Structure 1
Amino acid sequence: MKKLGLIGGVGPKATLQYYKEIEYGVMKKLGKSVLPEITIESLSCFKMIPFGVTQDYEGMTEYILGEVRTPEKANCDFIALACCTEHMVFDRVARETAIPMLSLVQVCVSEAKKKKFNKLLLLGTEGTMKDTYFKELFEKEGIQVVTPSEEDCKWIGWHIENELEHDVITKDTKEKFIEIANKGYSDLGVDAIILGCTELPMVYGDVELKIPTLDATKIHIQNIIDEILR
């Protein structure tokens, strides 16, 4: 099996999900008691999110690269970033490490193509929704990506940083998230919603929306499991 270097911590709840589902996912796929080797390096979401909002690509790249050196020294076979916002600088980081990296965005594009989606609503941190790194990869494959209104983007960003990253989700917040998702269907005519933040399954994991969701976290985890066993 390949050894994974996981850059996590952004936030902690998502990192726990990655670790647990990868470890037991490999065991389940092999059908025997065996666990893959994983080196986890933890970053702070409260440093990362502001880099995204201000589009400070250099600051974000430098911060991630400082932690990528650990899986390099640990002889990991590949690296995954357990955070959507970090993928703003995925290409920059990949150029600076000799270890292959598995892109969350790219595997989401492949899944959207498989499901024949044409137009998607992207939800994530304010930086993710403001930037073009998701849109560009999808649009290369002829899939349109749209975002909520500027007001809703700011609302989503604030509640991710100030509630979800603290492992908090209130009833009112959840209802507003659902309302924004359903507006994408009724007002923007999208085929599906991209959960483009690894904390968003906290909100939508047990919710039945009017349209399907592309859960970036789950898609990424499944592809990581496949890569470990490749």
Structure 2
Amino acid sequence: MKTIGLIGGMSWESSLLYYQIINQRIKEKLGGHHSAKSLMYSVDFQEIKTLQHQGKWDEATQIMIDSAQKLETGGADVIVICTNTMHKMAKEVEESVTIPLLHIADATANEMVKDGMKKVALLGTAFTMEQDFYKGRLIEKFGLDVIVPNEAERVIIHDIIYQELCLGIINEESKHSYLKIINNLSQQGAETVILGCTEITLLVSQDDCSIPVYDTTRLHAESAVDFALKVD
């Protein structure tokens, strides 16, 4: 079993899910008392959040690079960034270490392509929905048609993530807002919806939606286990 290196804390609420999902999948695969060999370097999300909203991406990138290098030094065999938004600097992080990085968009898109999905809706932070680092990868590498909510809806999604979900606040009214937005995207032709923020899974699940839901947190965590158990 290879050792999974997790860059967590963004937020710790979703990092907890990563740890849980990874160990549950190891148990499913291996049985008995097996658990995952893993390391987690957890950052202070307040620092990251401030840099994000100030547009200081170079400084945020350096924190991610430092975190990845600490994990490699500690014995990790692979890097997993436990957040969608910070894949904005995935290339720089990957180039800073000698071990592979598992990209969250790839883990998600591979499943969608396998399931025959073509037109997909993307929910996430404003950074993920509006910038090209995530949408562009889905479009260029996997040939998916990606749509996002309108500007007003993007504000709602972003604010709920940072003001509620990242603080562990689960609000039924916010859930209804998300489901209304997902329904609007479905009416625009979206065949499925990507929960493109690792906190959204705290609020919305497949049971709530009439179209298929792709939970990036679960898919990313499961891909890490598959990597860890893969025979070279």
- TM-score of the two chains, using structure 1 as the length reference: 0.94
Q: How does 1:214-225 map to 2 (within 5 A)?
A: 214-225=214-225
What do you get for the CA RMSD once the two structures are aligned? 1.5
Partner of 2:46: 46
**Separation in 1, partners of 2:57, 2:123:** 20
**Separation in 2, partners of 1:112, 1:45:** 30
**Separation in 2, partners of 1:207, 1:146:** 22
1:159 correspondence with 2:176:
no
3-state DSSP of counterpart to 1:135: helix
| C-alpha displacement of 1:57 | 3.2
Partner of 2:61: 61
Cα deviations by residue, 1:177-229 (Å, 9 ceiling, x for unpaired): 1111111011x211100000000011112642121111111111111111111
Identity of aligned residues (%): 27
Mind listing any 5+ residue stretches in structure 1 that lack a counterpart?
Answer: none
Partner of 2:134: 134
Partner of 2:228: 228
The alignment covers a number of residue pairs equal to: 229
| C-alpha displacement of 1:160 | 0.4
Q: How does 1:1-230 map to 2 (within 5 A)?
A: 1-53=1-53, 55-140=55-140, 141-186=142-187, 188-205=188-205, 207-230=207-230
3-state DSSP of counterpart to 1:204: coil
Structure 1 moving runs of 4+ over 6 Å: none
| Contact 1:52 1:126 (8 Å CA) reproduced | no
- TM-score of the two chains, using structure 2 as the length reference: 0.93
| Contact 2:11 2:45 (8 Å CA) reproduced | yes
**Separation in 2, partners of 1:55, 1:149:** 22
3-state DSSP of counterpart to 1:157: helix
Cα deviations by residue, 1:30-59 (Å, 9 ceiling, x for unpaired): 122222221111123333345445554312
Mind listing any 5+ residue stretches in structure 2 that lack a counterpart?
Answer: none
| C-alpha displacement of 1:17 | 0.9
**Separation in 2, partners of 1:165, 1:150:** 21
